[in-house]
Structure 1
Amino acid sequence: MNVVLKAFKDKTNDKVYFAGDTYDGERTEELIGLGYVQDDKPKKKTRAKKTAE
């Protein structure tokens, strides 16, 4: 489930989602890209490798 960051009306079912609600619809990737929904899958953190000097 993804957390809503900004209120919006879903165009597929006309339901209004408010900040703090959870969204589990079909357009998750699109809404994450637009900044309306927070991704529930944390991204892997990578660290730079030290190079020999």
Structure 2
Amino acid sequence: MNVVLKAFKDKTDGKVYFAGDAYDGERTEELIGLGYVQDDQPNKKTRAKKTTE
């Protein structure tokens, strides 16, 4: 489940989502890109391994 950051009305089902609500709709990727929904599994950043010479 993704968490809503800003309130919006979903154009596919007409439901209003408020900040803090859980969103599990079909437009998840689009809404994450627009900043309305927070990704529940953000990309993990890996650190480069230090090499010694």
TM range (shorter): 0.7 to 0.9
How many residue pairs align between the two structures? 53
Identity of matched residues, %:
89
Following TM superposition, by how much is the alpha carbon of 1:43 offset from its aligned partner in structure 2, in angstroms?
A: 1.6
Structure 1 runs of 4+ off > 6 angstroms? none
SS at structure 1 position matched to 2:52: coil
Q: Distance in 1 between matches of 2:26 and 2:3?
A: 14
Following TM superposition, by how much is the alpha carbon of 1:29 offset from its aligned partner in structure 2, in angstroms?
A: 0.4
TM-score (norm 2): 0.88
TM-score (norm 1): 0.88
Question: Superposition RMSD on alpha carbons, in Å?
Answer: 1.2
Unaligned runs of 5+ in 1: none
